[in-house]
Amino acid sequence: MAITEQDVQASEDAPSVNYLNNGYGLKSWLLTKDHKRIAVLYIISISIFFALGGLFASLVRFELMTPEGDLMSSDTYNKVFSMHGIIMVFFFLVPSIPATIGNFLVPIMVGAKDLAFPRINLLSWYVYVVAGILGTIAVVGGGVDTGWTFYTPYSSTYSNSNVILAAMAAFMAGFSSILTGLNFVVTIHTMRAPGMTWFRLPLFVWSHYATSLIMLLGTPVIAITLVLLMLERGFGFGFFDPNLGGDPVLFQHLFWFYSHPAVYIMILPSMGVMSEMVASVARKRVFGYEFVAFSSVAIAILGFLVWGHHMFVSSQSTYAGMVFSIITFLVAVPSAIKTFNWTATLYKGSIVYDTSMFYVYGYLGLFLVGGLTGLFLSSMGLDIHLHDTYFVVAHFHYIMVGGQVMGYLGGMHFWWPKITGKMFPDIWGRVSALLVFLGFNLTFFPQFILGYMGMPRRYHVYPDEFQVLNVASSLGASILALGYLVPGAYLTWSIFKGPKAPDNPWGAKGLEWETTSPPPTFNFEETPVVTEEAYQYGPIEEH
């Protein structure tokens, strides 16, 4: 793909100084301006929140094993599912891929020494950490019971929990993602290496560009919404309180104006990961590169015009509902383009059945189900039956967990040798992908049926006939948890005991595979010059 001074075999006599061993003290990490070290800091911090959010998820699944509410009271249950949602959405899913793998790879993939604003990048991590601490205080100090959506009047008139603190935490986490998005947009515009034209960019970069646009355009709106909410709670300004002249439905409009685009923040980055992995495992150029690139931008744009589909039953006018419904169907088109094009890339590809391939297959299957069930929910008539049931819960978990978390894990495996310079045992990688895939389906597929049968979300007491499916779901959740713990174990093991990784263990294309593993502090010995398009896999590859 590009010409650098380095030979492929350079790892043997690679320079001994890389970004990991260039300074060991705590200060060298906490004051670093290196995007790769900041990515590592992010990996550690979001893992902590993933574990915390997972803990709350386990409590939910424990409680739902029996029809009676015997493990906790209704109030406690409200807090448990709210904290699960708030932590997972704002502190894990939104930063998951962009702040970690994206932070690590975007500058390397465009051939730059660093992001455009390294200090702002570090600032975004500190803002995230402070937000995380505030969020944790909100949890420890009694929790929040509004659901992750902070709907008024749960969060205003009838709130008796730490809403202001949690809203402040979400506000600051949003600010951190604005800073990340801003850095990406500027870096992709101005820092591309000589010869790296827009249509030579890896699709990972395109999807991060689209994600960054959403972060820049959407996140400020949730920020102002939470400011309005805090003004109402703190000072008695009645923006959303009918007694004070306000309208609670306005909160829903403002909230979803951000939060619907935000669900694309929680899927677009994983689509970028998939494009890279599909090309590598099939040893082919991604089919219809331009279509995949533009479908990311199309998703980002259309994503801003569909928020009303969360409010089909919130006194929205039927005509507004129809428009939102039609545009929602349209969003499925760019998502389908991606899925078809990945499949077409695999067709007649020279497929390698390694960990990456397992994650690609798993992702395709889960995203397909998640995407198609979205169409059920965008049909206005059907949505009246399915609204606020477990069908919705299952749908968005198929996208967010089946999509983004699968993409995050897959990407972590794919670029693990680059990030750490160590190889993980491939057999365990395949086992973990299988565990996640099986555990996930067993957890969430029964929830589609439960929802269709009429089990509402956010209730912890349910009729006896729902128990079998709920127990199946809880069983699946334990397998899923195992699927997350196993990679945690062997990836950590590989850091200390794993064999040293070569520069390009998968024989993949892309600038990141042409530098050393792990890369030097400024990524390349010399600024690379790009002379060909992305994914120029040769007819025969030595592997």
- Under the binding rule (CB under 8 A), the answer on residue 40 touching another protein is no
- Under the binding rule (CB under 8 A), the answer on residue 224 touching another protein is yes
Q: Using CB under 8 A, which of 60, 144, 178, 337 touches another protein? A: 178
Q: Using CB under 8 A, which of 236, 381, 538, 539 touches another protein? A: 236
CB atoms within 10 A of CB 500: 11
- Under the binding rule (CB under 8 A), the answer on residue 278 touching another protein is no
End-to-end CA distance of the chain: 17
* Residue whose CB is less far from another protein, 187 or 345: 187
- Under the binding rule (CB under 8 A), the answer on residue 21 touching another protein is no
- Under the binding rule (CB under 8 A), the answer on residue 390 touching another protein is no
CB atoms within 10 A of CB 18: 17
- Under the binding rule (CB under 8 A), the answer on residue 123 touching another protein is no
Please state the closest distance from residue 535 (CB atom) to another protein, in A.
26
26 Cβ contact partners less than 8 Å away, ≥ 6 residues apart: none
- Under the binding rule (CB under 8 A), the answer on residue 29 touching another protein is no
- Under the binding rule (CB under 8 A), the answer on residue 305 touching another protein is no
276 φ/ψ sector (left φ>0, alpha ψ -120 to 50, else beta): alpha
Name the token pair of 430.
Answer: 């395949």
123 Cβ contact partners less than 8 Å away, ≥ 6 residues apart: 179
Q: Using CB under 8 A, which of 65, 71, 137, 191 touches another protein? A: 191
Which among 494, 486, 516, 522 is positioned nearest to 503, based on CA atoms? 516
Which among 392, 268, 386, 375 is positioned nearest to 332, based on CA atoms? 375
* Residue whose CB is less far from another protein, 29 or 459: 29
DSSP state of 520: P
Please state the closest distance from residue 227 (CB atom) to another protein, in A.
7
| Alpha carbon distance 442, 449 (integer Å) | 12
* Residue whose CB is less far from another protein, 233 or 457: 233
* Residue whose CB is less far from another protein, 204 or 209: 209
Q: What is the CA radius of gyration of the chain?
A: 23
Phi, psi of 422 (to 5 degrees): -125, 150
- Under the binding rule (CB under 8 A), the answer on residue 186 touching another protein is yes
- Under the binding rule (CB under 8 A), the answer on residue 478 touching another protein is no
For every residue of 54-71, DSSP letters joined together read HHHHHHHHHHTTSSS--S
| Alpha carbon distance 216, 261 (integer Å) | 11
396 Cβ contact partners less than 8 Å away, ≥ 6 residues apart: 263, 370
Q: Which stretch binds another protein (CB under 8 A): 68-76, 232-240, 278-286, 473-481?
A: 232-240
| Alpha carbon distance 292, 298 (integer Å) | 10
Which stretch of DSSP H or E encloses residue 281?
Answer: helix 268-282
* Residue whose CB is less far from another protein, 57 or 213: 213
Q: Using CB under 8 A, which of 40, 99, 144, 217 touches another protein? A: 217
- Under the binding rule (CB under 8 A), the answer on residue 245 touching another protein is yes
For residue 436, the one-letter residue type is V
* Residue whose CB is less far from another protein, 3 or 224: 224
- Under the binding rule (CB under 8 A), the answer on residue 190 touching another protein is yes
Q: Using CB under 8 A, which of 238, 288, 365, 425 touches another protein? A: 238
Size of interface with another protein, in residues (CB under 8 A): 49
Q: Which of residues 514-533 bind another protein (CB under 8 A)?
A: 521-522, 527
Q: Using CB under 8 A, which of 11, 22, 58, 157 touches another protein? A: 22
Which among 65, 41, 27 is positioned nearest to 471, based on CA atoms? 65
* Residue whose CB is less far from another protein, 235 or 496: 235
Q: Using CB under 8 A, which of 197, 243, 317, 318 touches another protein? A: 243
- Under the binding rule (CB under 8 A), the answer on residue 218 touching another protein is yes
- Under the binding rule (CB under 8 A), the answer on residue 320 touching another protein is no
2 bridge partner residues = 530
What residues make contact with another protein under the rule CB under 8 A?
A: 17, 22-23, 28, 32-34, 112-118, 178, 182, 185-187, 189-191, 216-221, 223-225, 227-228, 231, 235-239, 243-247, 250, 254, 521-522, 527
